[in-house]
C-alpha cells in the first residue's frame, strides 16, 4: 500500500510499504477514506518528537471502512464506516473506566522503557513516534486499529467524511480546551493560536456559553476565520496582546485563557528574558510566549487551559502568578472517546459544521506538499484533508 512516511526532519515521502495485518484478536483493519494533517504532525515534521524511526507512517486524524476484524471484535463488522480517535484506549483499565481515555494504561507497549527514560510515559497514539507506542499512522491506504470495539465509532448513514473527520481530534480537542475553562455565563475567553485547534476552541467556547471570545494570532486569514466564528481578534505583531486584553476587559483580564499554540511559540532554540515576568512573556525576537502570556493575562481566580502540545522542559511557568492569582491550570491529550457522541449530535442538529476549517483537499500522493503548505501557511492554508 501507499503511506506517508517520515525520513527525518522536514523529509516526508509517500512510500510503498507492507499492508497492515491483524496482530491481536481485538484489532481491525481500516481502509482509509479521509485523513488530515494536524499541527501535532508538525512537531514530528520539525524533528521535535524523539524516537522516530525512518520509515514510520504518520497520521492520527483518519476515518474509513472496516475491511477485516479480529476474532474478538464484537461490535464492528466488515463494511462499517468508522471514525477513529487519535488516542488509543483499551476501555477496561482504571483510567478508561474513569472516562480519562487519553491516559489509558494498556495502550503503550513501550511504556516500561519510556517510563525509565523520562519518569512518566504517555498512552498510545496513532502515528506519533515510539514514545507514544510506535503505532503506524493513518495517512495511508490502510491502518491497523487496536481495541477496535473501543475506538471504532460508527458513523450514521448520510453523513459525509468531511462532516465527521474532525471528531478524531481537533473538534474534541478544541471542545475539551473550552470545557476545561469551566465557562460561566458572561465570561470572556482568550484563545492564543487560530490554527485548526484554536478555531474549534473559539466555536466551542461559544457553544459552552461564553459571551466574548478574543482570539490571538498573526496570520490574517486565520484571524479572519476566527472573526467569522464571532471572535474579536488581536494580531500580536501589531499590538501587545497582553496589554490589549487588559484594555478590552476593563483592566480585569479574561476569565479564562486557552493556549492553542504549544511549542511553536518557543522553538527549540528560544532564549527568553527571565529577569521580569513582563519581559519574559516575550522572546528576544519579540514573539510572545503563548503559555506565559496566558497566565499573566488571565484574571485573578481565572482558568488557563492548555491543549497546545509541549515536551520536555520547554517552558518556564510563571508559577508566582499562578499561585498569587489562584489560577486553575488544566491540560492533557484529549479524551476523544468522551466527546464522540455529544459532538456528533451538535453536527447532526446543525449547531456546528466542522467543514468550515478545510482549505485544502489533496490526494495522499501529494501529502508532502500538504505538509509544506500547512507548515509554512502558504496559499492561505488552514487545514489539509488527504484522500487516499
Binding site for Zn ion (CB under 5 A): 38, 40, 169
State the CB neighbour count (10 A cutoff) for residue 160: 10
Residue 222 binding target from ligand NAD, Zn ion, none, CB below 5 to 8 Å by type: ligand NAD
**Helix, strand, coil percentages in the chain from 3-state DSSP, rounded to 5:** 35, 20, 45
Residues 301 to 320 in contact with ligand NAD, rule: CB under 6 A: 307-309
138 lines the binding site for ligand NAD (CB under 6 A): no
User: What residue has cell string 500522493?
Assistant: 365
Q: Is 294 in the site for ligand NAD (CB under 6 A)?
A: no
12 binds, among Zn ion, ligand NAD, none (CB under 5 to 8 A by kind): none
Binds 296, which of ligand NAD, Zn ion, none (CB < 5 to 8 A, cut-off by type)? Answer: none
Cα distance between residue 13 and residue 1, in whole Å: 13
- Which residues are paired to 145 by β-bridges? 28
Residue 3, C-beta contacts closer than 8 angstroms, at least 6 positions apart? 14, 15, 17, 57, 136, 137, 139, 140, 141
> Do 373 and 381 meet the contact criterion of CB atoms below 8 Å apart?
yes
Size of the site for ligand NAD (CB under 6 A): 34
Shortest separation between residue 302's beta carbon and ligand NAD, angstroms: 18
Is 250 strand, coil or helix? coil
Distance CA 338, CA 176 (A): 10
Residue 253 and residue 289 in contact, taking contact as beta carbons nearer than 8 Å: no
Scored b (16 or more CB within 10 A) or e, 250-281 reads eeebbbbbbbbbbbbbbeeeeebeeeeeeebb
Give the shortest CB-105-to-ligand NAD separation in angstroms.
18
C-alpha cell at 330: 488544566
Residue bearing cell 495517512: 139
Q: Mark the segment that binds ligand NAD (CB under 6 A) among 111-119, 127-135, 210-218, 322-330.
A: 210-218
Q: Looking at 76, 290, 295, 386, which residue binds ligand NAD (CB under 6 A)?
A: 290
- List the interface residues with ligand NAD, window 16-75 (CB under 6 A): 38-40, 42-43
C-alpha cell at 117: 527514560
CB of 80 to ligand NAD, least distance (A): 25
Site map 230..249 versus ligand NAD, x via CB under 6 A:
------x-------------
What string marks each residue from 150 to 179 as x (binds ligand NAD by CB under 6 A) or -?
-------------------xx--x------
Question: What does residue 11 show for φ and ψ, rounded to 5 degrees?
Answer: -125, 95
Smallest distance, Å, CB 156 to ligand NAD?
25
- Give the residue with the Cβ less far from ligand NAD, 76 or 83: 83
Of 52 and 183, which CB lies nearer to Zn ion in the complex structure? 52
Contacts with ligand NAD by CB under 6 A lie at 38-40, 42-43, 169-170, 173, 192-198, 216-219, 222, 236, 260-262, 264-265, 287-288, 290, 307-309, 333-334
Amino acid at each position: 500500500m501507499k503511506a506517508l512516511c517520515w525520513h527525518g526532519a522536514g523529509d516526508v515521502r509517500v512510500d510503498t510499504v507492507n499492508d497492515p495485518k491483524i496482530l491481536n484478536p481485538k484489532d481491525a483493519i481500516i481502509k482509509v477514506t479521509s485523513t488530515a494533517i494536524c499541527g501535532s504532525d508538525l512537531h514530528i515534521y520539525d524533528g521535535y518528537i524523539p524516537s522516530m524511526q525512518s520509515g514510520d507512517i504518520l497520521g492520527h486524524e483518519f476515518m474509513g471502512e472496516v475491511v477485516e476484524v479480529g476474532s474478538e471484535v464484537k461490535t464492528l463488522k466488515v463494511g462499517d464506516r468508522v471514525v477513529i480517535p487519535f488516542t488509543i484506549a483499551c476501555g477496561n483499565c482504571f483510567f478508561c473506566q474513569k472516562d480519562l481515555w487519553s491516559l489509558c494504561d494498556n495502550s503503550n507497549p513501550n511504556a516500561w522503557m519510556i517510563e525509565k527514560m523520562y519518569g512518566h510515559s504517555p498512552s498510545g497514539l496513532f502515528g506519533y513516534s515510539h514514545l507514544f507506542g510506535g503505532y503506524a499512522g493513518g495517512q495511508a491506504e490502510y491502518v491497523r486499529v487496536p481495541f477496535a470495539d473501543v475506538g471504532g465509532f460508527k458513523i450514521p448513514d448520510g453523513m459525509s467524511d468531511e462532516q465527521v473527520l474532525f471528531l478524531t481530534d481537533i473538534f474534541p480537542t478544541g471542545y475539551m480546551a473550552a470545557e476545561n475553562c469551566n465557562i460561566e455565563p458572561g465570561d470572556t475567553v482568550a484563545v492564543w493560536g487560530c490554527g485548526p485547534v484554536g478555531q474549534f476552541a473559539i466555536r466551542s467556547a461559544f457553544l459552552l456559553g461564553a459571551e466574548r471570545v478574543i482570539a490571538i494570532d498573526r496570520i490574517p486569514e486565520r484571524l479572519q476565520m476566527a472573526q467569522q466564528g464571532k471572535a474579536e481578534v488581536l494580531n500580536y505583531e501589531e499590538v501587545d496582546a497582553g496589554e490589549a486584553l487588559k484594555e478590552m476587559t476593563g483592566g480585569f483580564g479574561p476569565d479564562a485563557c486557552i493556549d492553542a499554540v504549544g511549542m511553536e511559540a518557543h522553538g527549540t532554540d528560544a532564549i527568553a528574558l527571565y529577569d521580569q515576568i513582563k519581559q519574559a512573556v516575550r522572546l528576544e525576537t519579540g514573539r510572545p510566549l503563548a503559555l506565559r502570556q496566558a497566565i499573566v493575562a488571565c484574571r485573578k481566580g481565572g482558568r488557563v487551559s492548555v491543549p497546545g502540545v509541549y515536551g520536555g522542559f520547554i517552558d518556564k511557568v510563571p508559577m508566582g502568578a499562578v499561585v498569587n492569582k489562584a489560577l486553575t491550570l488544566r491540560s492533557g491529550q484529549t479524551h476523544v472517546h468522551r466527546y464522540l457522541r455529544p459532538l456528533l449530535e451538535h453536527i447532526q442538529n446543525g449547531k456546528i459544521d466542522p467543514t468550515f476549517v478545510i482549505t485544502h483537499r489533496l490526494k495522499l500522493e501529494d501529502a508532502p506538499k500538504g505538509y509544506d503548505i500547512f507548515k509554512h501557511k502558504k496559499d492561505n492554508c488552514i487545514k489539509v484533508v488527504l484522500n487516499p
